[in-house]
Each structure stands twice: as structure tokens, then as C-alpha cells.
Amino acid sequence: MAIRAAAAAVRSIQEGTDARMERLGRAMLRARLLEEKLGSLYRAGRIVGGVYLGRGQEALSGAGGVALRKGDIFAPLIRDMAGRLAFGEPMEDALRAYLGSRLGPMKGRDGNIHRGDLSRGILPMISHLGAMVSTLAGVLMAKRMKGEKRKVGLTCAGDGATSTGSFHEGLNLAAVERLPLVVVVADNGYAYSTPNERQFACADLVDRARGYGVQGHSVDGTDPWVCAEVLQGAVDRARGGEGPQLVVGKLLRLCGHGEHDDGLYVDSKIQRSERGRDCVQVMESEMKKRGSGKEWQSWRAEAQAEVEAAVIKVSAEPVPDPFEEDWSATKSGSEAEESGSS
Amino acid sequence: MAIRAAAAAVRSIQEGTDARMERLGRAMLRARLLEEKLGSLYRAGRIVGGVYLGRGQEALSGAGGVALRKGDIFAPLIRDMAGRLAFGEPMEDALRAYLGSRLGPMKGRDGNIHRGDLSRGILPMISHLGAMVSTLAGVLMAKRMKGEKRKVGLTCAGDGATSTGSFHEGLNLAAVERLPLVVVVADNGYAYSTPNERQFACADLVDRARGYGVQGHSVDGTDPWVCAEVLQGAVDRARGGEGPQLVVGKLLRLCGHGEHDDGLYVDSKIQRSERGRDCVQVMESEMKKRGSGKEWQSWRAEAQAEVEAAVIKVSAEPVPDPFEEDWSATKSGSEAEESGSS
Amino acid sequence: MSVTYLDAIRSAQEKALASDPTVFIYGQDVGRFGGAFKATKNLAERFPGRVIDSPISEDAMVGMAVGAAMEGMRPIVEMQFADFSTVGLNQMLNHAATTYWRTGRTCPMVLRLPSGGTPGSGPFHSQSMEAIYSHYPGIVVMTPATVEDAYTMLLEAVEMPDPVVFCEHKLLYYHLKSDHLPESAVPALRAQVVRAGRDVTCVTYSAMVHEAVAAAKELVEEGYEVEVVDLRTVKPLDTDTILASVARTGRLLAVGESWPWGGASAEVVARVAAEGFELLDAPPKRLNAKDTPIPYHPNLWAAHRPTAVRIAAALREVLRY
Amino acid sequence: MSVTYLDAIRSAQEKALASDPTVFIYGQDVGRFGGAFKATKNLAERFPGRVIDSPISEDAMVGMAVGAAMEGMRPIVEMQFADFSTVGLNQMLNHAATTYWRTGRTCPMVLRLPSGGTPGSGPFHSQSMEAIYSHYPGIVVMTPATVEDAYTMLLEAVEMPDPVVFCEHKLLYYHLKSDHLPESAVPALRAQVVRAGRDVTCVTYSAMVHEAVAAAKELVEEGYEVEVVDLRTVKPLDTDTILASVARTGRLLAVGESWPWGGASAEVVARVAAEGFELLDAPPKRLNAKDTPIPYHPNLWAAHRPTAVRIAAALREVLRY
Ligand SMILES: Cc1ncc(C[n+]2csc(CCOP(=O)(O)OP(=O)(O)O)c2C)c(N)n1
Ligand SMILES: Cc1ncc(C[n+]2csc(CCOP(=O)(O)OP(=O)(O)O)c2C)c(N)n1
Ligand SMILES: [Mg+2]
Ligand SMILES: [Mg+2]
């Protein structure tokens, strides 16, 4: 098994790495720049509620999005702007959620990270951590029953989310059903302010894989090349019928839990360690080292232009109007009202 | 660590095995005979609701009860008559729960397996599987905060219960707090009718120990001597500050899920395998082999007499009277009523 | 032929599986074993791969159904007992129920809850949870009282575009019988006058309908005609039918097997008081279970829940005002 | 000095920790970080080992507290948002709440729920869950509306022998201020007339008390005197105080920020209709949030919840009957 996988990895490195790394690098940059813009909009008071960024986690998240194909399903969590953009969420939809545009898939009814569009293969998350694992498993069960083959589901979680009963039940169910599900845990050392040692007692969260009877993979979440390779491997294995895959990436959240949080509780020793590296900088300097600095600069410029255009566009979009709103939480309710029989 | 434990095991075998095995053997017999009586009472229509037996699981369950000391806490589950009796639950209390006696700790308000008496160190279970793990962890946290040292908590679960979010959250919490908690999983191959392969995908549930960062122990649940030794070892380690212990025993439920269930879904191959041995018979024949057949017979006779006396006694006890009942679910509610201000 | 309430539920599921390939059943022991109450007996054999045993993971069971429903399937999830649905509640209240309004995508699934008290079933195998599910927006909550309704309403539940909580009453499973399954159906979202009367309206649902009818019969001897309204579905509530009945009788008793604080009976009384105030000739009254856990011992249980005797007493109070 | 509603909650916890060694606090990020809303700021430093960070495990958090409470401690559990308590609900409804009646042993614990809507907080960070907790027997549910009540009721909650759900309103955390913490307390289980009036009674609780008072002020100009009753605790409900007020005014509006089906407002109206029917000169009315998830966009949110303007409009309807 291990040998076959390694061979597959080498082959894929030869064939598609450059294109894949370009997709990843671009997604990382687009996410980073869009999120920086979201931070400014928040500080300018243009976003109500909260802003939750994935700074420092773009490589791991983006690699998940890059590893998927059209027709696959992505169930992102809080810090997955890069994965979303890589998988095909339009920047506009991210902005629409935050700015409450009526034209976004959430129509201003839900906002910020609680967004998605299943017609694009992206499940809209609910806040309750761990909940999306079983939901994604359900999508995959449905696809299996409908006879749709070789479709993979990938979902993300933090170290903290692994403590939820939902996470456990969902992953166990997926393992029993041997579903093509990849669960990516971004272990950034903290859940809000709570450090790993108050969250779990195992040496490494990847140690849980065996207990679920699934394959486990560790990855340095600060290294885009390693992330791309490991995530692609996990997705391929899931697609190949090897059942759920648990990928655990180590990295650091290079921002607060939300933009209201200064994150001062993070241990400065970890910040200065390898784990505290900024994956975007890692990629930039490696690109420069490889003589591709210019390419990187052009990706960045294009991303910046895209962000600016998207902000201008979405800022001009209408916000919801309570008087035009359909206040029916059920479809049968709406129908009843339409037919005048409420 | 392993060496120290082995040495301790040898020492305890030399010093206290015989007494311990007598306690275990007696508990197993008392449980078996009491449960057979409960079955008859049920079939005779004297018990309303259901009857849930632990036939075949007496060695593992009883060994847990035997390994504990006064001052420890036991949180039994469905099939733990042997553990309860070994730890000190009076037979009468078991019967009172089933027959709804007003004099039992549950006063007819709750019944059958949903019984306990914290003044004896036994937590009354709620039905929701997995729920008692965190509750017992809470008792142990309280004891630690109150400065009560070297008190162990032991709780039981089935293979099916390990799939609950509660089980996961509770064990993880206990591991983070490094509590002196022993979790005994009786893997009897089935959860009601559902076989292991529809419940989990790992090779062995003990593989989960590492993912929780706790020590794991496998045990042949049909062998009373092995059960006694492994359970005592786990309890001693917990008491010694080594944190939570996960014990997984393999065995078979030699009865239906409840007495209404014929259990025909159980694979006859497993029934004929080692796993399907009856631990009570195993102990009986081993005792005979060792020349202690008479002793065994006397234990059995004493147990039988105890069962009969208890049934006569409890059958004569009053049942609850709705007109005398205090129908206040809160203590402040009762107090308000007492002071006439409802 | 004689069909029980449980047969009706089994038959409805069989029909749904046969007529719609997107329907499947998921739950503990629902497969070969046929479920704890045998509501899915033989269905796994007849529909291979579509009647699936789940692990003991209520949260994941419901979460799975949400995902499958969003992806175009129509899952039916069986809880072994309604009481255990508390551990799957979040996926129902915050995921299934919010999906349509938040995302515009429907989430057509049915959560079957074996509900209500039976002798000796105690605090954790007796609960009626309709109040919890009805309080949150986005869920239809059905509480059938008859063999016919168990059948036709479950079929309608499976076809609805919304998540439906289907509260079956365990006490009716085996005892309640009918001659045959119905050919036609009263729409599930409509309440129904199951016994006409001019003196007082008794609004109730599920097993209590039978207690109410028994109470009504008792009161005939005293010269009273009690109109019994079966809500059938408690969310949304068919206020029109209730008000029309109160308009006829001028008096109201609302009965629920669940606890008193804020359940269906409070909702009924609050609506009638607000929207039908002038129709009332006497104070509306409520009768519910006592506000404690549901007792194990049959003596206590019989005193804890509303019964025909207690309903008759409450009706007399309303009548004699 | 000026004390916010949040300060009051923090101070009450500080006082409880200082005066009772069995009190401890458990929750996500409550330790050194001081909690998501800073309700436990500096408490971990002052009370080492007694303000404890939990994993993200609401079920186990509540379950742990149940065990600790049964063993003689008085845990305070903080949920990061009320909305997440759905995943800890089972331990509260089926374990904490049943323990006293089932076993005779008390389970004195407090579950703190940061509740209610704020602009932009959306479907999963805005919920008011008092109806869910109140429906099940065995729990006291407090919903303080003022700085003073936040302080004295939390202290009383910690001292109670029963499990208490303490619904704090996030909208009041920072904005609501008082000069100082109170010396004496109105008993937590009593409702209170917070504004006297002779024309109509507006019964409400939590943040809606302030909206109701604002509406009452608005109606002064129109010549109406609105009496505002703050329930303070919604389970058990202080029916006497409500009825006494309705006896004075003859009219009732019950307002809740939660959803319309079966919440506190239904319970209030149902009780008044049943027990105070003859006191009413007009149909009692209810006002609640709309029956959809709580919207993210402030425009929608403002239309979704009851506000002073909408309360005033509802009061006018009741008054003009
Ligand atoms: C069930 C549940 N409890 C609490 C929360 C509140 N909450 C949101 S994010 C968060 C921390 C998550 O930590 P982690 O999973 O490590 O992800 P990270 O933020 O580090 O990316 C918490 C506690 C929640 N969303 N869901
Ligand atoms: C949360 C929850 N879901 C469902 C049930 C119903 N139930 C009671 S026992 C049981 C099977 C338990 O199987 P296992 O844990 O393997 O224990 P065993 O019966 O084999 O001893 C089930 C499903 C329950 N009690 N709790
Ligand atoms: Mg984290
Ligand atoms: Mg089992």
C-alpha cells in the first residue's frame, strides 16, 4: 500500500506539479489579499458582526481545494478562504456573505464564514463545530446511492473541533461506510485561546486515525509543496476506494481568532518556531529561489486587482429589504402562503 | 512502566488472589442467579417494562467491582449486575428498582437498570449511552478539588456506546484532566442486533486508547482470572496517577438485548468460538479442576438463598402511592410548596 | 384484515421505498432486525442497500440525513426512542431546520420518533418531544393519532420539501387497529374534528385523542356533548379548525401528554385567547402531564399523565363555569 | 463608578468563588483568557485551579458539571454562546434536570448562556433558548434584564439546590450600566413590576424589558400608561405578579425575543387566559420574533425581533380594542 502510494505521488509530481502549484499559489495569494481587505473593511465598520481569517493556513486549506475536482464536495470551516477560492468559490460570494449582499447565495440571511453553495459543490457550514463531518458523509452516501462514482468529499476542522462528539460520530460513521471522505485537521495549536494541552492528551491528533480504522497522514502545514502532495495523495486514495483519510497539518494561526482578538495568548516560542512560519512567505521565497519571483509577483498583482474589482462590484449590490423578504422557514409554509391558505 | 506493573501484578497474585477470586466468583454467581430470577419474574408478569441482563459478562463486570475499594465510584451500565453486587449494591436495591419498591433508592420513580445510590458510591445511570463517562469524570474532578486523594472511578460501556459523541467527549475530557478513571468496554460483538462491522471500522476498540492519550488494555472477557488481574492492574494504575485507562474485553452477551429479545441475530460461529464461552462455566470448571468444586457449590447455594430471601423481602415492600408522592422536580419547588408559597 | 398503527407505519415506509428511489431508511437496528419496534420489518430484504443500520450516533445520523437530503435524497431516520433524539437535536434544530431559509435548498427528511409513555418505560423511554421541535422555525411536526393518519401522514411527510419530525405514539403501536389502510387522506397540515359536540371543544393530539374521546363518551351520560379536535400536526398549527370549533362550543380544553410549560397546549390556548377571545364563554383550560420526569412505576405513571378520567374532570370544570 | 451588566456577571462569579469553596467555573477559554466575552476576566488568576478551560465538548462539559454537583460542588458552566448548548442539552435535560426527582440527590449547578441577538451575529450566535430549557421539568430558568438582577440573581442561582439555566443577554453586556452593584436583592423567583401603569400590562423579560419600557414611554404621549412586568425568571413563572397586574389593567401583551411557537409568551398568555379570564377586558396578545432563523443582516434582524416600535404598535392594538 505504502509503495503504491509513493509511486503514485512521484508520477503526479512529474505530471502535474507545476500547474497544481500555480493553482495553489494563486489561491493562497487571493485568499491572503482578500482577507486583508476584509480586515480593513471590518475596521472601517463596513462589516457588522465578526471577521474570521485563515492567515497562515492558506497552504493547507488551499491544497485541499486544489486536490479536489469539479463534482467533488467541499465542506470548509472557519479558516478556509484559500480552499474555497481554490475549489471555485467566487471572491464575490465571500464578499457578499460578509457585506450581506442580497445577490449572494446567503442573501444576507446568513453571513461571514457561514456560506456556501451546493450547486458549486460547497456545503454552507453551520457554526457548531464538528457538524459538517456527518453532513458531508450524508452527501457522499447520497452520491453512492445515486450511482455517482469517484466523487470525493473533503472537510476541514481545527484541533479544537476534534473534541466534539459530532466530529467523532461523523468520522466513525464515514469509516463504517468506507466513504470517500477526507478530513483535514488544521492543528494550529490553539482553539481560540485554548492550547492543545487543554484540548487533548494524545501525542499527535493523527494518532486517532487508527482508532477510527482510517488512514492517517501528517503534514507540515507551513510548506505548500508538502501540503499539495499530501492532500492530493489523500484525495486520490479516497477516490480510489481506500475509505476515509485523516490529514493532520501542524501550523499556526497568524492572526486572532477573529479580527476582534489580538491573539496575545499564543506562545511566542511557537511563533518563532518552524510551526510559526508564514506559508505565503515560504512559497514566495522558494519561488524566488527557483527563479520564479516574477511569476509570483504577477500572481499577486492579479489577485490584488481581482480583490479590488470584487469589492467595488459587491459594494454596489443591494442589501436585503425586510419588506420584500420571504419570512417562511419552510417551503411548505411559503407554498401555503402563495396559495393564500396561511 | 510495564515491568513495574508486571511485578505489582505478581505480588498481588501472591498476596490477595484467592480472596479476590472468591469475591469475584461469588459476585458472578450472585449476579447470574439474581438475573435468572429477574427473568422469571418478568415472564411471570411481575416486572413491568423491560429486563436487561448481563449473562456471560459477569467476569468482566464483576472484576471491575472487585478491583474498586470503598470510597471509589462505580458508574455501571446495562449489563453490570455482577459489578454492582461486587462493589456493594445490595441485591434488594436491584430488586427494588425492578419491582418499583418505594423503599429503594429510586422509590419507584425510576426502574430496572436505571438505579444507583451515590451514598454507596454508585452513580445512577441515565439511558443515553456514553453520558456517564463525563459525569463520572465530574465526580472525580470534584474529589480532586475537595482534596480527596487516591479515589478511582470506573465506568462501563458496550461496543455500541463507543460510537456516541458523549463517550468520546467524556474520555477526552478525562484524559486532558488526567483523571483516575477506568473505562471498561465490554465488546460483546453486538449493539442490540448491530454487529461490530456496522459500529466501527478499527481492528480493535483498544486501538482508540492511543488517540485519547490513555493506556489501553485488552482482556479475554470470558476468563475470570484474566479479568480480575487486568482490571485490578488498570484500577491500580489509575489510582497511582497514570491517568485514564481503557480496558476492552471481548466476550458475548449470552442472552437477548432484553428479555423480550431472542437474540437470534447473533452469529452461531461466534457463539461456538472461545468468545462465546460462559465465564461462569469457565470458572466453575477451573475451580473443579483445582479441587475447589465444593467451595463453588457452597457459594452457589449461598447466593441462591440470598436471592430467594431478597425476593421475598422486596416483594412485601410498599409500592409508590401517587397521592403521597412529592411531585416537585426541583428542590426549590418543594421548598416553595412546603412554605405554602407555590 | 386488521392493521395496527405500527403496521401502518411499516406499510407507509414500504410504499415510499417502492415508489420513490430517493427514499432510504437509516437507524439503529432498522436493517435485518427490522428495528426495535419492528417498524421496518422485512424492508431491508425487500430494498437491499436502502434500509441501513447506523452506529449509535444520533448526531451523525441526523447530520448524515441532512447531507443526503441536500443532495437530493429523502432519508427517513428512525430514532430508537424519541428520548434519545436530544443527542441528535442540534443537527435537526440548527442544520435541517435552517437549511431552506439560509440557503434556499430544501432539506426533505423525516425523523421518526417513537414517543410517549407506556407502563414501566420510565423517564428515558416515554418522552413526547413535539414542543422542543416545534419551537424552532423550519420543521413540520406531525403527531398522528390513528392508524389511518399514521399511514397517510407518513407518506405525506416523506413527500414534503421540509424536514418533518414524525412523532409516533408507542402506546398505539400494537393496540390501535383498523380494518384496512386508507385509500384517501386528509391533508397532513389540517386538524380534524374527530367527534362533534356543541358544549365544549377538547383540542388534543396523538394518544390523548383516544383519552379525550373516552372522556367525551363518559360525559354523554351527564348530558354534555364534547367536540374533540385532533391537531394531527402541531407545527404548523391549524388555528382555523380550532377557532371554528370554539366558535361552535364557546369553551376550550387543550390536552397534551407532554409537560405543562410552553407546549402545544399552551400554544393552542394562547392562540384561541388572542384570536378567538370573543368566542369564549368560559376560561380556556389546559391539562398536561405533571411537571416531573415520567415515572417508572405504573401507579405513578397513571397519575402523571392525563387520562380519560382526568380529562373528563377538567372538561366538567370548563363546562360548569 | 459605573458597572455594566457584564461586570455584574463577572463580579457575582467572583463573589461566589470567594465565599464558597465548592464553586468553580468551567468553560471554553474561561481561564487565563477570561472568556469570549470576558465574563471571567482575572478570575483564573485570583482563584487558581477553580476557573478551568474545557475542551470544545459541550456534552461532556455539562455532564462533568452534573457529576461534580452530585458530589457536592457548585459548578458554573459557561457556554460560549447559548446556541452551542444544543449539543450539551441532553446532559442538562435528561441528567441534571432529572437527578433530584429520580435520586433525591440535588444537582446544584449553573449553566450560563450568552443569549439573544446582536447586529450581525446571525442564525447561530443569537438564540434565546429559555423555552427549550423551561419545557423540561427540573430546571430553573432565569432571564435577568438589569445590571442589578444579573448580579443578585446569579448569586442566588449559584446558591440554589437545583440546576439553573442563566440566560444572559449579549446585547446588554456592554451597554447596560448602573452606578453600583446592589446591596439587597429581590428574590430571583419573583417577577417585578418595573414600570407602573393602569391601561395595559406588558409582560416580558431579558432585553425586551428595555424595548417594552421604551414603548411605554412612547405611549405616554398618546395618553396611555403601560405597566411593564419583568418576569426575571421564566421557569417557574410567577403567575401571581402577572395576574395582579392584569387585574389592575385588564389588558395584556406578552413579549418575547424568541420564536413564537410555545415559548414564554405563550405560557404567559395561556396562564392569564386560564386563571385570569375575568380580569381581561380585551384579547391578550403576543409578540415574538418572526418564525425563521435569526438573520445576519442588520436590516433583516431589526425586522425579525420585537422592538420598541413594534411593541408600541402591538400595545396600541390591545389598547384600542
Ligand atoms: C460546538 C461549538 N462550541 C463552541 C463553538 C465556538 N467556537 C467557535 S471557533 C472555536 C475555536 C475553534 O478552535 P479550532 O477547532 O482549533 O479551530 P481554529 O479556530 O483554531 O481554526 C470555538 C470554541 C462552536 N463554534 N461550536
Ligand atoms: C444515545 C442512545 N441511543 C440509543 C440507545 C438505545 N440503546 C440502548 S442499549 C443499545 C445497544 C447498546 O449496545 P452496546 O453499547 O454494545 O451494549 P450492549 O447492549 O451490547 O451491552 C441501544 C442502541 C440509548 N440507550 N442511547
Ligand atoms: Mg485550532
Ligand atoms: Mg455490545
As a whole number of angstroms, the distance between CA D93 and CA B131 comes to: 12
C285-287 and C252-255 beta bridge pairing: parallel
pLDDT at A338: 56
- List all residues of chain D from 100 to 129 with a beta carbon under 8 Å from chain C: 101-102, 123-124
pLDDT at A334: 81
pLDDT at A245: 99
For residue B2, what pLDDT band results from cuts at 50, 70 and 90? very low
β-partners of residue A122 are A74, A117
Domain count, chain B: 1
- Is the residue at A321 inside a domain? no
- List all residues of chain A from 160 to 219 with a beta carbon under 8 Å from chain C: 165-166, 169-170, 172-173, 176
| Nearest CA distance, A191 vs chain D (angstrom) | 8
CATH number, domain with residue A173: 3.40.50.970
Cell 529561489 found at: A289
Q: Whose CA is nearest to atom 21 of ligand 1?
A: A158
How does DSSP classify residue D4? E
Determine the longest span between alpha carbons in chain A, in angstroms: 70
Residue A269 neighbours by CB under 8 Å, 6+ apart: none
CB of residue B251 inside a 6 A radius of ligand 2: no
Query: Which of C71, C103, C138 has its CB closest to that of A329?
Result: C138
Task: Say if residue A281's pLDDT is above 90.
Answer: yes
| Rounded percentage of chain B residues whose pLDDT exceeds 90 | 92
Gyration radius from chain C CA atoms: 19
pLDDT at C170: 98
Residue B293 neighbours by CB under 8 Å, 6+ apart: B284, B287
* B neighbour chains, 3+ CB pairs within 8 Å: A, C, D
Task: Say if residue B6's pLDDT is above 90.
Answer: no
**A220 membership: H or E segment, kind and range:** strand A215-220
Domains and CATH numbers, chain C: 3-178 (3.40.50.970), 192-319 (3.40.50.920)
pLDDT at B15: 46
- DSSP codes of every residue in C94-151: IIIHHHHHHHS-----EEEEEES--TT--TTS----HHHHHHSTT-EEE---SHHHHH
Look over chain A and give the mean of its residue pLDDT values, rounded to a whole number: 94
Q: State whether A131 and C160 contact (CB < 8 Å).
A: no
Query: Which of D56, D122, D303 has its CB closest to that of A111?
Result: D122
pLDDT at B160: 98
pLDDT (tens place) for every residue of chain C, 321 residues total: 799 999 999 999 999 999 999 999 999 999 999 999 999 999 999 999 999 999 999 999 999 999 999 999 999 999 999 999 999 999 999 999 999 999 999 999 999 999 999 999 999 999 999 999 999 999 999 999 999 999 999 999 999 999 999 999 999 999 999 999 999 999 999 999 999 999 999 999 999 999 999 999 999 999 999 999 999 999 999 999 999 999 999 999 999 999 999 999 999 999 999 999 999 999 999 999 999 999 999 999 999 999 999 999 999 999 999
Closest by CA position to D291, among listed A330, C164, A321, A121: A330
Domain containing A76 equals: 21-316
State the closest ligand 1 atom to the C-alpha of A158, by its place in the atom list counted from 1. 15
Residue C126 neighbours by CB under 8 Å, 6+ apart: C83, C116, C117, C118, C294, C301
Q: Whose CA is nearest to atom 6 of ligand 2?
A: C80
Q: State whether B322 and C302 contact (CB < 8 Å).
A: yes
Task: Say if residue B337's pLDDT is above 90.
Answer: no
Torsion over CA: C191, C194, C199, C200 (sign)? negative
Ligand 2 centre distance from Cα of residue B245 (Å): 22
Predicted ipTM?
0.97
Candidate list C95, C125, C169, C210, residue with the active-site label: C125
Query: Which of C33, C55, C291 has its CB closest to that of B163?
Result: C55
Residue of A nearest to C140 (CA): A330
Closest by CA position to A224, among listed A31, A64, A79: A64
CB contact A294 to D (< 8 Å): no
- Is the residue at A328 inside a domain? no
Task: Say if residue B5's pLDDT is above 70.
Answer: no
pLDDT at A333: 87
Q: What value does the mean pLDDT take over residues D234-248? A: 98
Query: Which of D29, D83, D303 has its CB closest to that of A192?
Result: D29
- DSSP codes of every residue in C201-264: EEEE-TTHHHHHHHHHHHHHTTT--EEEEE-SEEES--HHHHHHHHHHHS-EEEE-SS-STTSH
Cell 467523532 found at: A168
- Is the residue at A47 inside a domain? yes
Task: Say if residue B176's pLDDT is above 80.
Answer: yes
CB contact B106 to D (< 8 Å): yes
pLDDT at B338: 55
β-partners of residue C113 are C167
Q: State whether D55 and A160 contact (CB < 8 Å).
A: yes
Measured from the Cβ of residue B264, the count of other Cβ atoms closer than 10 Å reads: 9
Look over chain B and give the mean of its residue pLDDT values, rounded to a whole number: 94
- Is the residue at A8 inside a domain? no
Ligand 4 centre distance from Cα of residue B222 (Å): 15
Cell 450568552 found at: D114
- Is the residue at B172 inside a domain? yes
CA separation (Å) from A282 to A22, A83, A158, A297? 14, 18, 22, 14
The H helix count followed by the E strand count for chain A is 12, 7
| Nearest CA distance, D221 vs chain C (angstrom) | 26
Q: What value does the mean pLDDT take over residues D310-321? A: 97
Q: What value does the mean pLDDT take over residues D247-263? A: 98
Neighbours of ion ligand 4 (CB under 5 A): B 158-159, 188, 191
For residue B335, what pLDDT band results from cuts at 50, 70 and 90? confident
Q: State whether A135 and C103 contact (CB < 8 Å).
A: no
Q: In chain D, which residues have their Cβ closer than 8 Å to the Cβ of A112?
A: 122, 296
Q: State whether C259 and D93 contact (CB < 8 Å).
A: no
D192-195 and D51-53 beta bridge pairing: unpaired
As a whole number of angstroms, the distance between CA C168 and CA C190 comes to: 17
Task: Say if residue A14's pLDDT is above 50.
Answer: no
Q: What value does the mean pLDDT take over residues D93-115? A: 98
Question: Do the beta carbons of residue A187 and residue A248 sit within 8 Å?
Answer: yes
Question: Do the beta carbons of residue B24 and residue B224 sit within 8 Å?
Answer: yes
pLDDT at A4: 46
Helix pair angle (C308-319, C208-220), 10° resolution: 60
Q: State whether A212 and B200 contact (CB < 8 Å).
A: yes
As a whole number of angstroms, the distance between CA D5 and CA D147 comes to: 4
CB contact B263 to C (< 8 Å): no
- Is the residue at B329 inside a domain? no
Q: State whether B200 and C55 contact (CB < 8 Å).
A: yes
Question: Do the beta carbons of residue C12 and residue C62 sit within 8 Å?
Answer: no
- Backbone phi, then psi, for A296, in 5-degree steps? -55, -45
| Rounded percentage of chain D residues whose pLDDT exceeds 90 | 99
Q: What value does the mean pLDDT take over residues A48-68? A: 97
Query: Which of D71, D97, D236 has its CB closest to that of B143?
Result: D71
Q: Which of A93, A106, A141 to mutate to test the interface with C (most CBs of C within 10 A)?
A: A141
The set of cell numbers assigned to C80 is: 430508537
| Nearest CA distance, D226 vs chain C (angstrom) | 19
Q: Three-state DSSP class for A253? A: coil
Cell 472484576 found at: B63
Candidate list D125, D169, D210, D304, residue with the active-site label: D125
Q: What value does the mean pLDDT take over residues A84-106? A: 98
For residue A12, what pLDDT band results from cuts at 50, 70 and 90? very low
Task: Say if residue B3's pLDDT is above 90.
Answer: no
The helix, strand and coil proportions of chain A, stated in percent and rounded to the nearest 5, come to 55, 10, 35
How does DSSP classify residue D295? P
Q: What value does the mean pLDDT take over residues A271-293? A: 96
pLDDT digits (tens, 9 = 90+) for A197-255: 999 999 999 999 999 999 999 999 999 999 999 999 999 999 999 999 999 999 999 99
Distance, CA of A156 to chain centre: 6
Residue D2, judged by CB atoms within 10 A of its CB (0-12, 13-18, 19+), counts as: exposed
CB of residue D80 inside a 6 A radius of ligand 1: yes
pLDDT at A11: 45
B118: left (phi over 0), alpha (psi -120 to 50) or beta: alpha
Q: Which of D174, D296, D304, D305 to mutate to test the interface with A (most CBs of A within 10 A)?
A: D296
Q: State whether D123 and C258 contact (CB < 8 Å).
A: no
| Nearest CA distance, D212 vs chain A (angstrom) | 22
pLDDT at C90: 98
Is position D125 annotated as part of the catalytic site? yes
Q: What value does the mean pLDDT take over residues B213-241? A: 98
Q: Which of A159, A183, A202 to mutate to test the interface with B (most CBs of B within 10 A)?
A: A202
The set of cell numbers assigned to A286 is: 522558494
CB of residue B192 inside a 6 A radius of ligand 2: yes
pLDDT at B334: 81
pLDDT at B257: 97
- Is the residue at B122 inside a domain? yes
- Is the residue at B47 inside a domain? yes
